Amino acid sequence: MESDMPVKNDTPYKYKENKHFWRTGVADVKLGHELVQSLHDIAIEQEDVKIASIGSCFAQHVGHWLISNNYPFSQSKLDTARTSSFAFGNIYTPKCFLQWLNHDAKVSHRFDIYHCQKTGNYFDLLRPTLNEAGFISKEELLSQRENAKSELYETLRTCNVLIFTLGLTEAWKDIDHVFYPSCPGVIAGEFDDELYSFHEFHYDEILSDITAIKAKLKAINPDLKVILTVSPVPLTATATNKHILVANQYSKAVLRSVAGYLSSTDDCFQYFPSYELITVNNENDFRFEGNRRTVSMDGVNYVMQHFNHAFADNAKVTSKAAPKVMLANSSPAIAHEAECEEERLEAIKKLKKNVNTNQTKMLTLIGDSHMGKLSSAFTDLGIAHCGGMIMNGSGFAQKRFFSCPDEYMVPLESAESRTLWAPALKNIKLHEEQNFQQLSVIISNIGLQTHQNVGRMVQSLRRKGLHDINALSTEQYVDFFQEDQLEQLSILINLRDAGHDVIVISDTPFCQYFEHSKAMKPLIYAYHAALELTLSNVDIPFLNVAHIFDEEIEEPSIYMSNFVDENGLNDWYHGNENYYRWIAKKLVYEVLMPVMQPQDEL
């Protein structure tokens, strides 16, 4: 049967570019190694540009990257503790930003200042992360608020690009309809359900607030351009009744929809796709840490290399060959979590078998999977001890614990981590209750976790403009521990101050023996040296077993782990049973026995 309809060979898609098709625009791109081409049309003239950033926690990553790559970023002079253009801390919702633009010092609010009766200090619930110790007077608090408002206006007048990172649709407000950046009582203040209530912003509210923000910004600086972006960092928790996954996707979808609408209909706004670059699917995802929530420094670097093309000299790359991307020094954290998980399960099994924890033991082990394996070695040697693996290395590196004066720390990684911590803490407390009638020795590797922390250290140094890592002195590395590892090291210092003998042992030397990890050796060894210097300043001995191993062992292969991950990469982070037995013997015969008293028993 013939048709009278003409045959059309053309469709609306025939003349579309590669960027308009998933296969050529996304699937064919090697994420993390190639840039996604023609992803945005932002073009920033570099001459006389001055960039400010405001919004959620991801806005700080943006600022760090701009500073590290020598772009003109407006840093707050009032809040130098973090990378931020303004002294407000994180601003997660447009409403909170709008409140600051409308802020009037003459208008008094009843519930946005908390007075602590115990300390007498005043806490700013509108800026809860600023001066967390509180202000000595209400007048000082209000004065600093006004200074922050003045800096806000001055910065907006002098910058010409504002990056606004949208973070949340969930917020808390009081009965006077004042909105807060976090729920009162979480960071500062006390929660009172008669004063504070939950509010979930919807599309129309977000759109209305950002439109009002635009009017304010244009009145301050008519030439200001606003780049909207959506934070890829998921919600930590939701106050709705929805599952956190559903609540998070809803929140991001609303924010993304508003940003998309404004950037398509209003010349004041442009959209930069941070959210898409982090959340698009990819195998063996480099963009998140092992907890699948924290955006990795490689992820930040990858996103901001796309932003690099916003500047006029680099914008609108038309070459068919996608430029290669150099990632930051990544940490192989995820690959080692499988081996650590096995050790954690083994620690739980041992704990169930050993129910007698009332007898004081001289040795207590506190750390990650290394301490679990060292515990097995002590058991094989018949050395009584308590503790071992408490959390995964990522748990310590990513501060998944709460510092507590009475318990030194409360592990937050899982309920099982708290179960593992309980007998170790009990042994520690028994020593203290008995006034240390027997020597109490704590062996730990808290503060090591080089499979994660070396990457964090490199990024920290690069943010300060120290790009030639190999040329740095040990003293320059030490600053990292003051900034990034202070909470971890405080656990050790508090234990020492309580009267325990604390010994910290280094990570393994095995990175140098595998092709995929040998480049890590100078960084890991520099990390060891810097940590040793840091600990020596607080009188905590550091046993650099990696250095000792290199000097004493002629056949290192006998001590290497035989674990191979799903990518076929050898585990350089751990050793085998021979390695931990070697460490255990060295600790017993060369460290412990020389300091033992007659009443002490191993």
In angstroms, rounded to a whole number, what is the distance separating the alpha carbons of residues 506 and 532? 9
pLDDT at residue 288 tops 70: no
Give the three-state DSSP class for 36: coil
Beta strands in 265-370 (DSSP E): 269-271, 363-367
In angstroms, rounded to a whole number, what is the distance separating the alpha carbons of residues 461 and 476? 8
Tell me the two tokens of residue 374.
Answer: 């060292």
pLDDT in tens, 166-193: 999 999 999 999 999 999 998 889 999 9
Tell me the two tokens of residue 347.
Answer: 């620690």
In angstroms, rounded to a whole number, what is the distance separating the alpha carbons of residues 35 and 263? 22
Tell me which of 211 and 407 has the higher pLDDT: 211
Tally of CB atoms within 10 A around 190:
12
- What distance, in Å, lies between the first and last C-alpha atoms of the chain? 96
Give the global pTM. Answer: 0.54
Question: How high is the pLDDT of residue 479?
Answer: 73
Regarding the domain with residue range 28-105+146-186+193-310, which homologous superfamily does it belong to in the CATH classification?
SGNH hydrolase (3.40.50.1110)
pLDDT in tens, 530-585: 889 889 988 999 999 999 999 999 999 999 998 887 777 888 999 999 999 999 99
Name 1's Cβ contacts closer than 8 Å, sequence gap at least 6: none
472-481, 516-525, 566-575: least confident range: 472-481
Q: Which of 19-23, 65-69, 503-507 has the highest mean pLDDT?
A: 503-507
Fold classification of 333-595 is Rossmann fold (3.40.50)
In angstroms, rounded to a whole number, what is the distance separating the alpha carbons of residues 503 and 595? 13
> What CA–CA distances, in Å, run from 148 to 197, 522, 553, 560?
26, 43, 59, 55
**What is the chain's percent helix, strand, coil content, to nearest 5?**
45, 15, 45
pLDDT in tens, 428-464: 999 998 888 778 899 999 989 888 888 777 777 776 6
**Nearest in space to 162 (alpha carbons), one of 308, 37, 243, 59:** 59
Dihedral over Cα of 101, 104, 109, 113: its sign: positive
Give start-end residues of each CATH 3.40.50.1110 domain in the chain. Answer: 28-105+146-186+193-310
The residues with which 402 forms a beta bridge, in sequence order, are: 410
Residue 189's region, left for phi above 0, alpha for psi from -120 to 50, else beta, is: left
The residues with which 442 forms a beta bridge, in sequence order, are: 364, 502
In angstroms, rounded to a whole number, what is the distance separating the alpha carbons of residues 468 and 257? 42
101-110, 197-206, 318-327: least confident range: 318-327
**Nearest in space to 455 (alpha carbons), one of 405, 543, 394:** 394
